[in-house]
Chain A
């Protein structure tokens, strides 16, 4: 039908071709330009604003006499939305009205929340660039935190060495969990999406089992581990008043490392080639299956480090909620960051800000914290549907037919 320059020959690897098709759609979603990301956030905030307005009783009251005084309604909407987002912004950055000076500097809470998101987001980003959709950051974080925890509270080592051991253990824990998916993909063709999702469940159940048995704190009735040694904790960067810790430095180093890996190293060149066209990569002598395994090991290790920043940064002991929703938010962060290392970094900062500011919005503007979840979900929706954003803003898509016809 279309006049493509080559006629495609029958290929021996139909699975590859089919896999490529589904990945192609995801790739289109993940590799759109940054403008789409920014606009998706904007549109999500606008819709969030509408929700804030319609659920605000003051707006509802003013709307009751809309025809008598329409201005009152609009001013109520403005007050409502600006108060809410104002509180969100101040809570995430700097809030002069807060009672304590620590409370005023919400920016550090933003950075704290962003730390594991950066690392886990990088995990998704890196795997994605090699053509794998790692949904399993959640499980990898849990396993990372578990490994780190075991080293952190069961071993007693000198300062520095203990922390390094914790970090290493966390990376290994995540790497094992990610590596399983990579290995199964490479050896049996098991789809990594399904495998990683299932590994998430296994990780949750496994850690719960361990917390009820081997890892339970002595004397505790709850499924919670003993506390980490002080030596095993990531040092706080700004003293005891702020939670922001050395995990942030770890995360920034990881961004730099992944950026180097992807853009400057031969290994990253392989990963990108495998991700963009596995058949051409294989023809060029790259070991696609080895690539799948190693990239999942590294990806899992990054997610494992996110687990480390959870247990050795903000938490002190292991519980079944150690990963929160970070593993899933990481997917959104990687999507929003367009699977680029620095894009992921800034997207994680934004999500950290949502988390830090959300509480402030709930307290100071009396807006449900769920609005933040709604906005985050809308961001995913708009990113997952680039044509929607293109239509709203009338951005012309680059049509593939146009280049080939």
Chain B
């Protein structure tokens, strides 16, 4: 089935999210849609999936124009979508989830799950999905949940599958498995629209690459094109993807975490007996798939978590049990992983956000009164220094793009002399151009002699920044390895092997079976 988008334009008020986009997806090809966050990829796919009505332009399937007034129409036309955030009911089984919305029924409206189970088993066997129709979705690993989403689409006879940032939630190994599945689907005649901003993946799997920037198609590229070429198309200027950082010159060890455990309200351990230390002038990156205790680690250090066992010391002083205010005041700079929820007040101005955790200090305020002139001047300075793209420092933070919001948070946290800098997902959702800048600032902080902890689920970022890498899995530390370790090693550790076992597996001669789990 051939899909064509012709002159698709979608605007929200004055903002044009898609500007005359032309796109042809040939039958049985993997077509990558490459673009930065906010480039308009998801909007375009939501138009295609019937969630948005295009302002102008048309959609053609097999050269016949079609009009979708909702996802149901799109599905009926053979388009399936796997959203970035899964649309599954956690307490339903796989079969129930797949049946949802397209239930087979027998006489009298009685649910016929057996028919669905059979379909799932057929598809699962055909593509090697390895999904049990009766498993509860909440018990499945993320990678398998994603396959359930794909099955959902295939059961509805999708001929074109849209995958929206599918690898964001996967380990490197799971990503490889997904790539294999995509290749099989393609071999089976399904077209795939693969949305991503990860260049390596695009190059590995695509037949055609279309690059979108600021709502416009800026061109197409061949999968053999150089990574830097793709990056500069995406950003619109040449970017350097490698950070030329000097080797770390670790000094005195000032930040120590010993036997740290973090429990949730019912006593379940989210972080289990973790110990590590960081020296002045080095970057320790904490790697791992999202949800393996990284959030709890940063919360514990910042005094944001209630149930903590163990010890965290900075310059010999215990941080556990101190208030957030005290921890910040003892010289810890913190970039939370979710800047919109935790790092910024959206309806505050940039100037106000720049003093969000500094407002009690002179010269930002005196005797309980904010020093407005100084705050305004501070804002102008920081906006210039960190190149925050905004019309005015008095604009609200929620008018900024993700990258610029992150610059505001970073500008604030780096504004004072630090004894420890912790940044969680410092460049998530940030455009490639800003990543370069943010990374440079982080390395500069390290070179100034601050111990730095970076928590990141992006392996690229970890490898880019880290002097040493700690890997978390299910709340446990799988080991700390040097910054230049291989992706394979890190991948195995992220999947739950400790450093020694992972290394042994890599060193072992190729095993008789290919190492995949049954």
A positions within 8 Å CB-CB of B: 1-12, 31, 264-267, 269-270, 272-273, 276-277, 279-287, 396, 398-399, 401-405
Contact = CB atoms under 8 A, between A and B. Distances in A.
A264 B370 contact: yes
Contact of A396 (B13, B37, B325): B13
Contacts of B347: 31, 276-277
B46 to A, nearest CB: 6
A402 B14 contact: yes
A265 B12 CA distance: 37
Given A272-B348, A280-B356, A396-B13, A5 B340 contact: yes
B40 interface: yes
B100 to A, nearest CB: 17
Nearest to A12: B264
A267 B14 CA distance: 37
B398 A403 contact: yes
B194 to A, nearest CB: 16
A3 B43 contact: yes
A7 B334 CA distance: 19
Given A280-B345, A399-B13, A287 B340 contact: no
Contact of B343 (A10, A283, A398): A283
Given A280-B341, A280-B342, A280-B356, 15 more contacts: A1-B85, A3-B42, A4-B429, A5-B37, A5-B401, A6-B429, A8-B341, A12-B299, A265-B368, A266-B359, A266-B369, A283-B343, A284-B357, A403-B398, A404-B38
A286 B325 CA distance: 7
Contacts of A284: 324, 328, 356-357
A9 B457 CA distance: 12
A7 B85 contact: yes
A166 B420 CA distance: 53
A1 B304 contact: no
B340 A6 contact: yes
Interface residues of B, number: 65
Contact of A7 (B40, B168, B305): B168
A285 B12 contact: no
Contact of A9 (B290, B324, B403): B290
Q: Which 8 A-B pairs have the closest CB atoms?
A: A5-B402, A402-B12, A3-B42, A284-B357, A285-B325, A5-B429, A405-B17, A285-B324
A2 B42 contact: yes
11 contacts: A1-B83, A5-B429, A7-B168, A9-B338, A273-B345, A280-B344, A282-B304, A285-B325, A398-B13, A405-B10, A405-B40
A6 B339 contact: yes
B85 A287 contact: no
A6 B428 contact: yes
Contacts of B299: 12
B38 A279 contact: no
Given A265-B368, A273-B345, A280-B342, A287 B323 contact: yes
B196 interface: no
A265 B375 CA distance: 13
B34 to A, nearest CB: 14
Interface in B254-305: 264, 290-291, 295, 299, 302, 304-305
B287 to A, nearest CB: 16
A10 B10 CA distance: 31
A7 B43 contact: no
Interface of A is mostly: loop
B291 A283 contact: no
Most-contacted residue by chain A among B10, B84, B344, B356 (CB, 10 A): B356
B228 interface: no
A271 to B, nearest CB: 12
Most-contacted residue by chain A among B295, B341, B348, B359 (CB, 10 A): B341
B337 A277 contact: no
Interface string B318-362: 000001110111000010111111111111100010001101100
A156 to B, nearest CB: 37
B17 A283 contact: no
A273 B338 contact: no
B372 interface: yes
A352 B344 CA distance: 40
Contacts of B372: 264
Contacts of A404: 38
A9 B370 contact: no
B359 A269 contact: yes
B191 interface: no
Contacts of B41: 3
Contacts of A287: 323, 325
A9 B429 CA distance: 13
A277 B299 CA distance: 17
A379 to B, nearest CB: 25
A32 to B, nearest CB: 13
Given A3-B37, A264-B370, A283 B302 contact: yes
B457 to A, nearest CB: 10
B365 interface: yes
A3 B398 contact: no
Most-contacted residue by chain A among B168, B324, B399, B430 (CB, 10 A): B324
Contacts of A31: 347
A264 B334 CA distance: 26
Contact of B370 (A269, A281, A403): A269
A8 B290 CA distance: 11
B341 A11 contact: yes
Nearest to B353: A280
Nearest to B347: A276
A159 B300 CA distance: 57
Contacts of A272: 345, 348
B208 interface: no
Interface string B7-49: 0001011110100000000000000000001101111001000
Contact of B429 (A7, A280, A281): A7
B450 interface: no
A287 B328 CA distance: 13
A1 B51 CA distance: 9
A98 B92 CA distance: 75
A405 to B, nearest CB: 4
B405 interface: yes
Nearest to B405: A5
A256 to B, nearest CB: 14
A10 B370 contact: no
B338 A277 contact: no
Nearest to A11: B341
A224 to B, nearest CB: 43
Contacts of B337: 9
Contacts of A403: 15, 398-399
Contacts of B43: 2-3, 405
Most-contacted residue by chain A among B168, B329, B357, B403 (CB, 10 A): B357
Nearest to A405: B17
A273 B368 contact: no
A285 B325 CA distance: 4
Contacts of A399: 12-13
Nearest to B324: A285
Contact of A277 (B85, B168, B345): B345
Given A12-B264, A265-B369, A285-B328, A405 B12 contact: yes
A196 B305 CA distance: 30
Contacts of B343: 280, 283
A193 B336 CA distance: 31
Contacts of A281: 345
B209 to A, nearest CB: 19
